[in-house]
A and B are shown apart, each in its own frame.
Chain A
């Protein structure tokens, strides 16, 4: 018997159960090596290894929703009905933000006889029963859900756990715990100090064995190749970064040059320069993060031209907005709300055609943060500047881009953007989801937005958010599982890194080789 085996047996001498990791630590061996040696020892009945599958439960997204609204949907429903019977529409109104939860809660409440339905004057009145009143306050499901969120032991509630899991309120991760105990045989072997020699079989191949050449007279002990080993994680970039890399590559393949600009902007570059009126709702504090202080409008000629455009349309044939343009509004500092600010800074630096440029960057919206609202996003934006471009070219480049993402069926729809005309939304058919997904917004920049920069050829442009792509690609319902501090590090460590594009493309045929 080799030394590691003796070492492990002596670690186990106290006769108690030890976890694999604690043995590895005491013996200063890698867990994989310990596992191999233990396999050997247990075959000789010197130790007993017991494996126990342990489930660890986590609260899911919809579970978090229930926790934050202080009750499961059916409890909320009962709560709403506590004082008054309500008709269907009024009741549904309380669930306007989450219609699915309403249907589920209503069905459950009805099956459990917590509510009764009565018809009156063409209306259906829903009334709470006594049983319903009780359940509004005491839901065993909700208590266990809270326990799960506190990380408490929930062993005793297996029925409830099954139900919570079936309703998707909690999710589990399974891992195996290995515990080891020395047998009387092992102990007596250790005490007798009689270590049987095992020259016949080699456990781990060592440099000493190689040097001495003693392996020539030995055979190799076969491994159990199915045995579990320690987890290993490759270093990884973030899934969003993966998508950014893909998008950047597509852009460069299509001949686009990258551009960038800072996160802090003036309203001038974020709005005025592209002909967004000074009283546009998107400028309100409710949507935009404003910062104390003022920007310097450091290009007086450009400022003069933008002012003229806003006031009377300049020389573009536009009416303009007919107000007096206020430089103080334009000098407000803010966190950029779109990467179009980057595009317009680029116009000022490089107004010459032909050009194809793109930017990928972070943008900000003044939102209260919850499961569906974030204050920070990532956006891609591209433009083509060139003689003779028209709306059909815009359709062409967008179709090309979708094709690179893997979508072949694309449809277009007119829309309204303040700084492009025509403006166009586009959707692609996702055969895996079986539905159209709206991704790219686009348009041709207005003459009023190009003229201050001396650009007199058409510019077609498009953009989209990256978070939605990431969610679709990695089948996530909420972006917070990936982005920001609530990220699941295990997901970053182990997500599939070979997903590119949103749709599985047909494999290229290599022919016979």
Chain B
């Protein structure tokens, strides 16, 4: 979800007919978005992540105007011819290979428009442009620029300008070290031998994308009527789509859009931008009705599509050919268009149907075993806890005096202290004992859940196993009491257990055993007082743990 903060007044400014809060809430819901904050002066609209075209007040209004039937299909943006040239130097090839640009005139910025522009820039950077990794937007007052502009890559020491927000000239390298925005996005450039830069024909730096604009030529103010806008990035479709989104936004703000001729060094890649590209899809009516369970006609479908910003370019009784702007990045397949038909039709108008797919139904054999064991163990008076599968080395091994056994290590974890996936249950079960030690004894806790072992013969190199662990803790807890429970569980499983004396680290010598119950292997032991006192358990504690799968 991406939020758009706006007000009812601002929204109504773009709408053909004013809307009420109630109607807005209902309409957004039907379309699959949400009105999160209903205060008319501080609306918060939540947009699903697939719609970068809607991250502005104008964008939301564009969609509402069509949905409510005020306009049909998407608005046409006029692109005026111009002599503006943006030269792309071959040096950007490995650094930031693509750029697209436009000029907008007579936009008459006021505070509201400027705020909206900055909002859109930030939201697109944060979402669709993946924190400027995929693409970044730069906006400049037109009047300070001497054409043509060159997009090139230079050694960072050769780039020197006063960045927005600082009072001094800095080199490209120093901006990454000293400027707040430079520091934040340094990781996007610092490994590169050369940095990308936009310069005008006087050699003046406009900006160093995707980091920062120049203070002198890259600062947009309320007095600006005409703007130069560029998008640069690594992936042409994204660059082009973002510029198209901005073109529609400026058009909604009543600006005039002028093309920029982007001259690439390779012959087969000259571009006139904004491309204002279209996506074309063919919708088979039979397939549509089969997907939605409807009986829509071609004419009805056409009306519904127009309410979702599509233009129908051809239609007959069996199919419709439709177009939508390039910014509908979510439209990959005819089903994506059909989904929009359903949104326009209204999910409320679709009645649920019973599913008549006849199957038997049943649980896994492992589930049945686990549930049977739970029945037995709860019958013995144990209480189940569910602990975390993620833990730390220090706790899982060191605190229990266990030698490290093969286990799954975690990469970077946000939660400090999580370093691995458990390969035993009992240390984690005992955490619950620790936080409850002031409650009334006896403690008879069990856990029946999954652990992960290293296993070389699977595609993930691991195997997930089900295990059972019993923890007995009270003033007179002994090996023998636990052994009684293990005997009971074994006989419940129809097996005769075998006990073999074992030396298990963390347990008292001579009071620990390996246990086999049928095909399952486990162990039983009295915990060593050294371990108990180290982790802080004030009474004897006996542990039994066994695999329930193999």
A: residues with CB less than 8 A from B are 151, 231, 233-238, 240-241, 245, 248, 251-266, 279, 281, 285-286, 289-293, 295-298, 313, 316-323, 333, 335, 354-356, 362, 364, 366-369, 375-376, 384-386, 388-393, 395-400, 411-416, 421-424, 444, 446-448, 458, 460, 483-490, 492-493
Q: Is the CB of A492 within 8 A of B293?
A: no
Interfacial residues of chain B within 374-426, with CB under 8 A of chain A in the complex:
374, 377-390, 408-416, 418, 421
Q: Which residues from chain B contact A321 at a C-beta distance below 8 Å?
A: 332
Question: Is B31 engaged at the interface, CB distance under 8 Å to the other chain?
Answer: yes
**Residue picked from B49, B359, B412, most chain A C-beta under 10 Å:** B359
Q: What's the Cα separation between A272 and B440 when bound, in Å?
A: 50
Q: Is the CB of A255 within 8 A of B464?
A: no
**Residue picked from B339, B348, B350, B360, most chain A C-beta under 10 Å:** B339
CB proximity of B472 to chain A, nearest CB, Å: 13
CB proximity of B256 to chain A, nearest CB, Å: 31
Q: Which residues from chain A contact B130 at a C-beta distance below 8 Å?
A: 279, 281
Q: Is the CB of A263 within 8 A of B443?
A: no
| Bitwise interface map of B from 449 to 464 toward A, beta carbon under 8 Å scored 1, else 0 | 1101000001111111
Residue in B closest to A423 when the chains form the complex, CB atoms: B339
Q: CB < 8 Å: which of B364, B390, B408, B418 contacts A264?
A: B408
Q: Is the CB of B348 within 8 A of A375?
A: no
CB proximity of B423 to chain A, nearest CB, Å: 12
8 A-B pairs in the complex with CB atoms less than 8 angstroms apart = A235-B382, A263-B464, A281-B49, A389-B355, A392-B352, A414-B343, A416-B32, A447-B335
Residue in A closest to B447 when the chains form the complex, CB atoms: A238
Q: What's the Cα separation between A286 and B412 when bound, in Å?
A: 9
Q: What's the Cα separation between A492 and B130 when bound, in Å?
A: 44
Q: What's the Cα separation between A291 and B413 when bound, in Å?
A: 10
Q: Is the CB of A279 within 8 A of B134?
A: yes
- 14 extra A-B contacts, CB within 8 A, seeds A265-B460, A293-B461, A422-B342: A234-B378, A252-B362, A262-B462, A264-B461, A281-B127, A296-B461, A356-B359, A375-B413, A390-B290, A390-B293, A391-B293, A395-B353, A460-B355, A485-B387
Q: Is the CB of A355 within 8 A of B359?
A: yes
Q: Is the CB of B378 within 8 A of A392?
A: no
Secondary structure dominating the interface of B? loop
Q: Is the CB of B385 within 8 A of A492?
A: yes
Q: What's the Cα separation between A258 and B366 when bound, in Å?
A: 10
Question: Is B480 engaged at the interface, CB distance under 8 Å to the other chain?
Answer: no
Question: Is B292 engaged at the interface, CB distance under 8 Å to the other chain?
Answer: yes
Question: Is B155 engaged at the interface, CB distance under 8 Å to the other chain?
Answer: no
Q: Which residues from chain A contact B431 at a C-beta distance below 8 Å?
A: 484-485
Q: Is the CB of B361 within 8 A of A235?
A: no
CB proximity of B166 to chain A, nearest CB, Å: 25
CB proximity of B87 to chain A, nearest CB, Å: 26
Q: Which residues from chain B contact A414 at a C-beta distance below 8 Å?
A: 30-32, 339, 342-343, 347
Q: Which residues from chain A contact B333 at a C-beta distance below 8 Å?
A: 313, 316-319, 421, 446-448
Residue in B closest to A251 when the chains form the complex, CB atoms: B361
Q: Which residues from chain B contact A421 at a C-beta distance below 8 Å?
A: 333, 335-336, 338-339
Question: Is B266 engaged at the interface, CB distance under 8 Å to the other chain?
Answer: no
Q: What's the Cα separation between A448 and B452 when bound, in Å?
A: 32
Q: Which residues from chain B contact A484 at a C-beta distance below 8 Å?
A: 386-388, 431-432
Q: What's the Cα separation between A489 and B292 when bound, in Å?
A: 49
Q: What's the Cα separation between A320 and B331 when bound, in Å?
A: 10
Q: Is the CB of A260 within 8 A of B355?
A: no
